[in-house]
Amino acid sequence: MPRGGGSGNRFERNVVLCEHRLRGAGGRRIGLSFGGGGTGASVCRDGRCVVEHERGAMLANVIASCSDNGIYINRAAQTQLRHNTLIDTAGINVRFAESSAQADGNLVDGPISARDGAIVRSGDNRSTRLVASYVGLSDVRARFADALALDLAWSSAPPRRAATADDGLGADLCGAPRAEAPAYGAFEDVARCAARRR
């Protein structure tokens, strides 16, 4: 959780399993976060702490099994959220007036939301509406062989974005180059991750 007036930090190509061994334990677990520490101004790098973090990026991460938000942005400005896959979380939440985020290419089992004056520019993403989440319906989970068991092989052809001129996508979670019309989320084919580890 970068905070304290930090700037330019990145979470890129990680797998975060919030409750893999903590199912049923008390408390709430968040996947990845910028800000939210309540850092006092006197210990902030800039001595003011108007924002706790700025110009951060979360790119090509898989975040799963969180009892709270998979991604939480709290008093963090100009954040980029691109091509992340969130499974079995409360989605993406951007909070407080100091916070702003641009979200594109994410595959989110849960809603993408802003509250308490925050700004989230939700571009081209696939997410689950809040009402569907409450009744256990998720078209995002259905895209995988067994999302809750973390079998993330595509159940059919992956959902793809329109061809993008954005050359900043870089490699996916598995280190493979992105297709011209990239799949939503962290990877093109999760099997490439296993092949890479051999």
Please write the tens of the pLDDT for every residue from 113-130: 999 999 999 989 999 876
Do the domain assignments include residue 16? yes
pTM for the full predicted model? 0.90
Q: Is residue 60 included in any domain, yes or no?
A: yes
Residue 79 has pLDDT above 80, yes or no: yes
For residue 79, is it within any domain?
Answer: yes
- pLDDT-derived band of residue 191, with 50, 70 and 90 as boundaries? very high
Residue 173 sits in which domain range?
Answer: 6-197
Decide which of 158 and 139 is more confident.
158
Asked whether the beta carbons of 94 and 36 are under 8 A apart, the reply is no
Structure tokens at 109: 């089992």
d(CA 101, CA 122): 8
Residue 1 domain flag: no
Whether residue 44 is contained in a domain is answered as: yes
What pLDDT shows up at residue 54? 93
The answer to whether residue 46 sits within a structural domain is yes
150 pLDDT tier (thresholds 50, 70, 90):
very high
Residue 112 resides in a domain: yes
Q: Is pLDDT at 198 greater than 70 in this prediction?
A: no
* Residue 58 in domain: yes
The number of C-alpha atoms within 13 Å of 55 and in the hemisphere containing its C-beta is: 4
Q: Amino acid identity, residue 145?
A: A
In the chain, the number of structural domains is 1
Average pLDDT, the chain: 87
Q: In this predicted structure, what is the pLDDT of residue 132?
A: 59
